[in-house]
Amino acid sequence: MKRLLLLLALMITIFSNAIAQREVTGRVTDARDGSALPAASIRVKGKNTGTSTGDDGRFRIQAGPGETLVVSSIGFIEKEVNASDAVIDISLQFADQTGLREVVVTGYTVQSRREVTASIGKVSGADVKFQPVASFDQLLQGKTPGVLIQSQSGQPGAPASNITIRGKGSVLASTQPLFIVDGIQVTGADFQSINPADIETYTILKDAVATSQYGSRGANGVIVVTTRRGTNAKTKITYDYQYGTGQLPKNKLRLMNSAEKIDFETNYDHPYGMNFYGWTPAEADSLSKVNANWEKIMFRKANTQQHVLSAVGGNDKTRFFISGSVFDQEGTVQATALRRYTGRLNIDHTVDNLKIGLSTFVGSSKLTNTNENDQFIGSPLNAIRWANPYVTAYLPDGSFNELDLILQGQPNALKELLLSPATNNQLKGLAAVNLEYKFSFLKGLSAKTNWGVDYTNDDNTRYIDRTTYLGSQQVGTQGSFAHATTRRVRYTGTSSLSYGKQAGDHNFRVSLFNEYVDRRTTTFGYTGFGLIGLFGNGGDITPGTPANGYIPVVADGFTEQSLLSWFAIGDYSFKNKYFVNGSLRRDGSSRLAEGNKWVNYGGIGIGWLISAENFMQNSKVFSELKLKASYGSAGNENVGNSYESRELLGVISYNGKGGLVVTNFEKPDLSWEVRKTANIGIDFGLFNDRITGAVDVYSAATKGLYLNRQLSGTNGVNSILTNLGKLRNRGIEVAVNADIIKTTHFNWQLGFNHTINQSEVIALDGTDENIIGFNINRLGERLNSIYLVRYAGVDPANGDALYYKADGKTTTNVYDPNDKAIVGTFDPPHFGAFNTLVNYRGIEFSAQFTYMFGHKIFNNDRQNVENPAYVISNISADLLQEWQNPGDITAIPSPFNDFQAATTRFLEDGKFIRLRNVVLSYQVPAALLNRVKISGLRFYVQGQNLYTWHQFKGYDPEVATGTLGGSQYPLLKTITVGVSLGL
């Protein structure tokens, strides 16, 4: 009987467990559009039981009625559901843009931020979509710590901003980061042809565990750009329109007006006031009343228009995004402008286990520009400060005023601008095909390949009219016409094999990659002379003969460089709270000699999600807390030409005979610059993520620094490029975002980020210092420290300029280059941004301020216009404060004193705070739009660069190089209105 009862109890237990552990099925979808979420993780809470969804989002799992399922997917908020029903449909909300659940692109892979151990910044394209800029790099200013972005020019179609990530890692090689668009490497010079409105996200990779994935190209950081893709939803058509106007900021460099300049010129007690032009008193009086405003003559209010039409949609199998745009931007300098047309088509299609992706883009732009940052007297931007105010641009009959200007050594810059146009017509195409196959015989195994091409064709022309001053400087003095074509084609092929598996609390993925990048550049150009002035193009060229001397200049060229890589990327997590990321890469470059062609890079990072620990579950302060650390290396070989390590020969002509000469010495020992970076950081969320942020501390050391080693003149060259030194950047990055008020109808957010970066030269291979112009690299000092004689003011007794001696205490009136000292840096050690956003019932206001301080600017404009010897042109009004009599207290020396430019007299504080962007918008309520079948309608007004607080004596303190080399095309103040309509 006992055996019978025991058998009955055992059968009841087995039957009960069988009932409890029944099969639960269901489907996981994206709450935004209802599309299936493949590879979503489903596990039974508290057990090792788990599974994942298929491509259709469906799953099966054994679970009892009282148990809880934990559902998660990269980029979505984790959700817990009760397993009481046998069939469960689960929708996951897309992760917020600041928390640890946010999805990020970590180079070649995609992860949730909680799994990432690297230091990464992310900017959503939607956050900056409506800013009226021609180049997408300008949208990233102040958006993430550690990334210093300085615009080099306000000219339409200007080259990419100077972008530095965690300090400059090189002196002679490029310090620009690597740009990747949809898996294809692109060049910053091509940004003028890419439409920023097409971009979904910008991801900035800063530390070595992320940048080591890019090996020899990653030392300066990587900016990964992903463009918009289709969705599993009804097709949505959007039309965006912008119209704006821009004008110059105020120039704080005050020049003399006509009356002041005439008095200065005719002051016979002044060494330079000798009335060069022989004005009679009546003529001088008449001229003093002219006051031509050359700033108004050369500049104008500039209008900007943009039209963008896009469509997005798809279904479970096929998704698409298509867009077209027209961007038309006038420059504030007359006759400068950019007009751009773009088109994009992105398609994704799924066939069983195969995913096919196609990304295509074409852009065509026409740029008309002018010289800037130079010393040519005919440059339009130089005329603003050099042209005398009593000389007009036009004569009374409407013709150009040439005689008055040429007599003063200053040609009519307006004529130089209008009759010597320079144009660039650029055609750019990007295309990439992506194939991904998931093998059915082994779950988690997939193969992927991405092949793309970046094609750019630049067609440049410059017509220099024979009647201009510049035309008189050409061969034969009768103008010239130049036409040059540059065609760049870069092929990128990346293939990978990946395997991922979740086993209980363990989750890992390993990917093996092969990559090949090949870039070919073809150039051809000619310059012809002796223009006859009939056609305004190359048809005006006079055929060159020995008799007339109009021998044309013709040149062509071809370069090719390639990179072959093998690498592996691995990720591991335990209990979804301990994480390890790592990569190994081996690169081979055609640019280096055989012995140094191949090199290895790698990085490893670890992370601990402290907030997931049991002892943190009852915390009322920390909703998220993660500690991370990483170390690794990346390289840089972007210096010189494609054949820098090889001996190159060039053609030379001497005494009527031709020959060959060495133009580049062989460099068999030239190797890569290698940057090794260590990073420790904390990501946090406080009070249910009402406050989120991150703090990172880093140290980045570059060894094998490219510098020029001095050679004896008997070699035919003065120096040779060598791996000489070592430098280090150390810094702290802080970013904090807070939801100050968060209610159903009212929200107020504040954000702040700040970076401190200090560079130091720690080795120079046998020498203590290396001097380049105003810069010195000295052991123990900052990279590119400023090296000048220190100006000590003016001696009140005699008006002599005073300079500090080397000891920094005693002064002398003798300028001695041996008294030079380190007086600061051109690179801002402190920079950051703060912003705010307020939203109330569809009305939204946002503002962003950027700032930088701790650096200097050498104002080359001032050292020109404060030199009294240049009295033939206009000069600074500060010269009216020159020392004249014993006892005068002034900063301007006596005009009888020798003028010295290379001193701290012209070194200025570069600090500023700029109101970078302000937007006021209104989103029409959906309830009103539904009646007319409109999905969205938004009106907005926006201001860009509205005001800058600074002390710099010029237009704009945002000088990327630290030295204002000459004429400056400043950033514009713009006001834009716009509308966005969705159907």
For 495-545, the DSSP string reads: EEEEEEEEETTEEEEEEEEEEEEEEEEEEEEEEEE---SSSSSGGGPPPP-
**Domain shared by 107 and 227, yes or no:** yes
State both tokens at 447.
């193969």
Amino acid at 452: G
Q: Looking at the domain assignment, is residue 179 inside a domain?
A: yes
Cβ-based neighbour number of residue 930 at 10 Å:
10
Q: Are residues 830 and 852 in contact, defined by beta-carbon separation less than 8 angstroms?
A: yes
Partners of 496 in the β-ladder: 448, 513
**Domain shared by 221 and 155, yes or no:** yes
**Domain shared by 130 and 55, yes or no:** no
Cα atoms in the Cβ-side hemisphere of radius 13 Å centred on 454: 24
**Domain shared by 450 and 586, yes or no:** yes
**Domain shared by 586 and 447, yes or no:** yes
Overall number of domains in the chain: 3
**Domain shared by 141 and 121, yes or no:** yes
Q: Looking at the domain assignment, is residue 363 inside a domain?
A: no
With tokens 């802080």, the residue in question is: 734
Choosing from 179, 213, 239, the residue where a domain stops is 239
State both tokens at 933.
């079948």
Choosing from 549, 565, 591, the residue where a domain stops is 591
**Domain shared by 553 and 466, yes or no:** yes
**Domain shared by 452 and 539, yes or no:** yes
Q: Looking at the domain assignment, is residue 447 inside a domain?
A: yes
Q: Looking at the domain assignment, is residue 706 inside a domain?
A: no
Q: Looking at the domain assignment, is residue 573 inside a domain?
A: yes
**Domain shared by 26 and 86, yes or no:** yes
Question: For residue 17, what pLDDT is reported?
Answer: 45
Question: What distance in Å separates the CA atoms of residue 791 and residue 900, rounded to the nearest whole number?
Answer: 10
Stretches where the chain sits below pLDDT 50 are: 4-19, 96-98
Question: What distance in Å separates the CA atoms of residue 489 and residue 518, rounded to the nearest whole number?
Answer: 8
**Domain shared by 122 and 62, yes or no:** no
Cβ-based neighbour number of residue 12 at 10 Å:
10
State both tokens at 484.
């040059």
With tokens 């055929």, the residue in question is: 543
Q: Looking at the domain assignment, is residue 709 inside a domain?
A: no
**Domain shared by 539 and 473, yes or no:** yes
User: What is the arrangement of strands in the sheet containing 791-794, beginning at the earlier edge strand?
Assistant: 791-794, 801-804, 811-812
**Domain shared by 68 and 193, yes or no:** no
Choosing from 224, 239, 254, the residue where a domain stops is 239
Question: What distance in Å separates the CA atoms of residue 124 and residue 139, rounded to the nearest whole number?
Answer: 10
Q: Looking at the domain assignment, is residue 199 inside a domain?
A: yes
Closest alpha carbon to 257 in 918, 880, 884: 880
Question: For residue 431, what pLDDT is reported?
Answer: 95
Output the domain CATH number for residue 48. 2.60.40.1120
Question: What distance in Å separates the CA atoms of residue 528 and residue 463, rounded to the nearest whole number?
Answer: 10
User: Is 219 strand, coil or helix?
Assistant: coil
Can you give the residue range of the structural domain that contains 117?
Answer: 103-239
| Cα 714 → chain centroid | 42
Instruction: Please state, in angstroms and as integers, the Cα–Cα distance from residue 370 to each residue in 297, 419, 975, following that order.
Output: 15, 12, 24
Output the domain CATH number for residue 169. 2.170.130.10
Question: What distance in Å separates the CA atoms of residue 845 and residue 31, rounded to the nearest whole number?
Answer: 28
Exposure of 459 by Cβ count < 10 A (0-12 exposed, 13-18 middle, 19+ buried)?
Answer: middle
Q: Looking at the domain assignment, is residue 854 inside a domain?
A: no
